[in-house]
Amino acid sequence: MKSILTIALLLGSTSLFAQKTPAAAETHQRAIKIDSFVATSHEATIRGQKVPYKTIAGTLPVWDDDGKAIAGVFYTYFERQNVADRNARPLVFSFNGGPGTASVWMQIGYTGPRVLNIDDEGYPVQPYGLKDNPHSILDVADIVYVDPVNTGFSRPANKDVPRDKFFGVNQDIKYLAEWINTFLSRYKRWASPKYLIGESYGTTRVSGLALELQNAQWIYLNGVVLVSPTDLGIERTGPVSAALRLPYYAATAWYHKALPADLQQKELTTLLQEVETFTVRDYIPALAEGGFISDAKKKEMAAKISRYAGLPEKSVLQQNLDIPTNFFWKELLRDRGYTVGRLDSRYLGIDRKDGGDRVDFNAELTSWLHSFTPAINIYLREELNYKTDLKYYMFGPVFPWDNDGNRTGENLRQAMAQNPFLHVLIQSGYYDGACDYFNAKYSMWQLDPSGKLKDRLSWEGYRSGHMMYLRKDDLATSNEHLRNFILQSIPKAGQPAKY
């Protein structure tokens, strides 16, 4: 009998052990953990100063109107540790764009304490990985990198949650504003000066959030930073839309030494001032004449556009003075056998054939994915110890995306008008052909037709592309501009928010 009991106990314990095995593997599954985190401690040297910090990688819920969790939003929160007064310390929420891309780009490319291992111009090198970022803004502000639903590790709670809760201009803004409210409460950061930074479509997101946070969450910001901004729903069609691209064309042609000798020898910003003036005073009015422009004037304009864009005069005339971006990327270096990149036109591509009017692929994006994808997976899974078998979505399934009702530029203007503390900084790369620098300037000019807010709006340009921070020199300069913007937009103690 004793032996039978012993055998039974052994069998039972074997059974219990077998049942525990799947439970032990729960950290390795492709399922969203809606409310969880992992904390780790680190130290960085920023601007020659030792900065101890804690990193929290995890998810916080998105709540519906009934208080039910419908998604888990993944975030990485960097918090400096040797801080005497956390209430006075600035807090920055960082978003990237797409829509449908994660916060990876600015997290390990720009402002975070660890930065991508790339060469000085931003090209991939091996072995893949990261290195310390001596220019990070973590010395002056804590940072939260946020991955909207279906980007990074963020996911809906289950397959039954309606997609229209998340995937649209205004839906995105609404649920992320609610999520920021949850974050501030969870981490006791309501007293902190608050900032939003967005890149590309992220600028649409943060411009809308500025007003949504005020109106629906009663959260007031000190600053919004727009990195390589979209059009923000600000109208530009016809002659204006066509002409505004020319300064970017000139910058790209200058970089590739494709301009006439007299223009090529000019300093870049001096050249661009000349092209900008021509664009506003001559190019837009000429395009406005459409098919009724005189033959003589059309030929005169084609000659000038050709000089500035680095394209044959014949090609400009064939396009009726309106040069499409796809054609430019294909045509500029056609005779050399290369195409130029869309998001950063310093990058070169090779097409199957030199003919045609569209490039085969975006040379710069392919290069960036080459280096960013291994690095973010190494960083989150190994350095920050976040364990999951979920795929990290560099670009996630968020389409179709509802673009109706995009008034985010007007949202930002209204938020600034309502909040005297709110300042805006715009950062652009001269070689960005997707969200070009002159369109960014135009958005700034049109944001407030009254001109009463212009003392709180500023723009900075850099000699790189969409992710201007990937170039070593611009990484230092752009972070310093951010640092100064944050420090200068914090009011003095006791200063009232009033006009």
- One DSSP character per residue, 226-248 reads EES---TT----HHHHHHTTHHH
H/E stretch holding 477 reads helix 472-488
The CA-CA-CA angle for residues 197, 198, 199, to 5°, reads 135
In this structure, what are the phi and psi dihedrals at residue 22, rounded to the nearest 5 degrees? -60, -35
**361, 391, 420 - which closes a domain:** 361
**pLDDT given for residue 379 in this prediction:** 98
**pLDDT given for residue 22 in this prediction:** 41
Within-domain flag for 14: no
Would you say the C-alpha torsion 465, 466, 470, 476 has a positive or negative sign?
positive
Within-domain flag for 496: no
The answer to whether residues 65 and 82 belong to one domain is: yes
Output DSSP code: residue 355.
-
**313, 341, 361 - which closes a domain:** 361
Cis preceding-peptide flag for 156 (omega within 30 of 0) = no
H/E stretch holding 359 reads none
**pLDDT given for residue 28 in this prediction:** 61
CATH of the domain at 482: 3.40.50.1820
Name the one residue in this structure whose structure tokens are 């052909």: 433
Q: What is the CA radius of gyration of the chain?
A: 25
The answer to whether residues 213 and 250 belong to one domain is: no
* Model pTM score: 0.94
β-strand pairing of 142-147 with 91-95: parallel
Q: To 10 degrees, what angle do helices 437-447 and 408-418 make? A: 50
C-alpha span between 459 and 448 (Å, rounded): 14
Domain containing 257: what range? 238-361
Reading the block at residue 344, the tokens are 């950063």
The answer to whether residues 480 and 349 belong to one domain is: no
Within-domain flag for 228: yes
The answer to whether residues 65 and 209 belong to one domain is: yes
Number of domains present in the structure of the chain: 2
Within-domain flag for 115: yes
H/E stretch holding 295 reads helix 295-309
C-alpha span between 15 and 17 (Å, rounded): 5
Reading the block at residue 142, the tokens are 């804590």
C-alpha span between 201 and 399 (Å, rounded): 14
Mean pLDDT per 10-residue run, the chain (499 residues)? 34 33 53 94 97 98 96 98 96 97 98 96 94 98 98 96 96 98 98 98 98 98 98 95 98 98 98 98 97 97 98 98 98 98 97 96 93 97 96 97 97 98 98 98 96 97 98 98 98 94
C-alpha span between 432 and 428 (Å, rounded): 8
Within-domain flag for 494: no
H/E stretch holding 450 reads none
**338, 361, 384 - which closes a domain:** 361
**pLDDT given for residue 312 in this prediction:** 98
**pLDDT given for residue 442 in this prediction:** 98
The answer to whether residues 196 and 345 belong to one domain is: no
The answer to whether residues 217 and 356 belong to one domain is: no
C-alpha span between 169 and 408 (Å, rounded): 9
